[in-house]
Amino acid sequence: MKPKKIKLARGERIIAVIPEYCKGPGWANSPAFVYIERNDKTLRTECIQPEERTPELDTLFKPGAAMVNALIAAVPVAKEK
């Protein structure tokens, strides 16, 4: 399958790419979520499946996922009871 091309409207921009390992009973996936800022400052999300990755995205996926998990763990959180 060819790498997925994200379509951007005029003025839109990619603000983040988040690699994520997902799994449940009997299934697993590793998509990359692409967050795009629209012209009105709202966000939209695109999903790149493993078979749609570019070679560069494939190479960066594992270290990127590790970085994302480390960043999430570094955020101080006060959970409500």
Residue 49: which pLDDT band, with cuts at 50, 70 and 90? very high
CA separation for the pair 31, 64 (Å, rounded):
12
Q: Residue 80: inside a domain, yes or no?
A: no
Q: Residue 39: inside a domain, yes or no?
A: yes
Q: Residue 1: inside a domain, yes or no?
A: no
Tracing tokens 């997925």 back to the chain, one arrives at 4
Q: For residue 47, what are the β-bridge partners?
A: 33
Q: Residue 55: inside a domain, yes or no?
A: yes
Q: Residue 81: inside a domain, yes or no?
A: no
Range of the domain at 63: 13-74
CA angle (13 as vertex; 50, 35 as ends), nearest 5: 45
Residue 1: which pLDDT band, with cuts at 50, 70 and 90? confident
What is the DSSP secondary structure assignment for residue 27, as one 8-state letter?
Answer: E
Give the amino acid at 67.
M
Q: Residue 4: inside a domain, yes or no?
A: no
pLDDT at 58 over 80: yes
pTM, to two decimals: 0.89
The tally of domains found in the chain comes to: 1
